[in-house]
Chain A
Amino acid sequence: MKRLWNWLSDARRSLVSRYVILMSVAVILIPLALILVVTILFLIYPPYEKEHAIYGGAIELENKWHNEAKALGGKSEEAIQKRLEELYKRYSKATIYWVDPAGDTRLQLPKDAKIQQHWTAADAMQFMKERRSGGDELFTIVAFIGDQPSSGFIILEVPRSIITPTFKNTTFAKYWSYAFPALLLIILFLFIGASWLFFYRISRRLLHMQKAMTSSAAAFPGIPGRITVGKQDEIGRLEFAFNTMIEQLEHGRLRETEEEQLRRQLIANLSHDLRTPLTAIRGHAFQLNEEPLSSRGRESLQVIDRKVDFLSRLIDNLLSYTLLSAGRYPYRPEVIDMNRLLRQLCANWYAAFEQQGIELELDAPDHGFRWEIDPQWMERIADNLFQNILRHARDGGYALVRLYVRNGSGYISFVDQGPGMDSESGERGSGIGLSIVSLMAKEMGLQLTIDSSTAGTRITLQGLNQI
């Protein structure tokens, strides 16, 4: 019993069962409404004329007449006459005859009714025959008084039209021809309305859900917020499942952030742990350099020093690249005067170029342009490009940084006269420096072009100028 109840309450919550109920109600409603309308119409407009109601149907009238005849058995002639006159008053459209046992017509109502005054057996037969064969208009009842053929008989004749209701002429029929289609239409509209309401509510809940799915919660950007679960039907279960999914997403995002944090920390620590021994190596090399050494010894120390530089930069780039490709490199864009920034960057690097015998020149227009970028990123880009020139294009002895504007775009070119990128350079790296340049340029919406030949390399950044 309990299980049945549970099943029922479950079913009640289901959208399908609710719709089935709706349909069933509609199907049952049609015959029910039919009965109801017929009853109401029947009560207000009975399917026969009221003035003829007194006659009733044929059988009813016949029974009544026979009963009257039976009741008149043994009564005096005056009583019979009186009673028949009373009856005539009631059935004013009828014709009544009374024939006594001797075969004389004692009474005819109305008085002008055409009937023979004396009945022989042949007359009676003739009368019956006429009424039976030709009698479509008249309904004739013959009853013996007191149920005894010896006591005479009484005849009642009424027009058939009175006792046979002609349905199509009644008010009932007139209304019925409108009422039935109207009723069907009403039921149809009720059903459509109920269905519409049913689906409208479903669609409203689904739309509400869609809105919730496309929104974004404050705590976790990109992940929608939770939905308050309403009814326990299919949509309710969907909402519940949706919330569970959100929970899993949030959990995943949280774990991802934690892992990312951990990874960043790990890489930062690794970078730190690699740099510390490098520092010691460089320090010791420097100390060694202050001791008396052969020229070959000093050369070795210089190589050590260069390799330390190279390694340190590689570690730096590796760290940056990992953060960049994970989208975790802090980006703080601002509108920057590129003339000024590039001038500062060239100033930072000038001494290093000078030391290697490379002439570094900055060619910037009087009126510069501004880009919306992160200056730290731009510095990293320039650092990597300058570093590449120092490592690979020292032989050219010349480097140029050129800023210019063309067609509303700003351009920054880093030009060297080295042997080009395809040549075998003394220190070939993994190219991670250039990968970072390309990644950063892309992230900042700058277009990177690299032209390299044996005559030199030109790396150009193109960006949208800010007003």
Chain B
Amino acid sequence: MNTVLEMSKARLTLKGNAGPVEILRGITLAVAAGESLALIGPSGSGKSSLLMLMAGLERASGGSVSAFGQDLTRLDEDGLARFRRGNMGVVFQSFHLIPTMTALENVAVPLEIAGAPDAAQRAREELAAVGLGARGGHYPSQLSGGEQQRVALARASVPRPKLLLADEPTGNLDAANGAAIMDLLFGLRDRHGATLVMVTHAPELAARCDRVLRMADGRLVAA
């Protein structure tokens, strides 16, 4: 089995207002290439934190985290940023589009950062692929939530990352929009053969994944 993501006794401790808070208490897991994995669990159990750790957006306080054979704990901020290019795409519950840029520009940015020569063209195609070909010139504030998430999805997938990370991508959307996003997400994965790790509340979404992991109180528990 080809492992893309590996964690061993990963811990995360953050300084809260009332002293340090243990958020992740020793996570060990491995994600195989091409697999789709759902993370479920009650709110506050540490799902988002685990995803952040996987994406290198958060640094483990202990244990090891590696992706594609690279030990993430050994990379600095810039190293992590560079590593994400082409390797990881991230989708958030609240989209995090750049408000000053149009939809098309938002999608083009990761390609431009990676130095792709045909960024604009590929961004246009990707935007069309999520059904927003006509909305490229709109700013995020002129788009509905579902449309914004589709832009975010296009932005995450346009560099063809080997690993897609999604944190409750439908959490801010209604059922219809949520379902559409899910279809897109799985469609993208199927088409490009990416590995998918997704945090979700919805059991029916989790059921579409190959494997489900449940979290409680900063630990992985039996599903």
Q: Do A and B come from one complex?
A: no
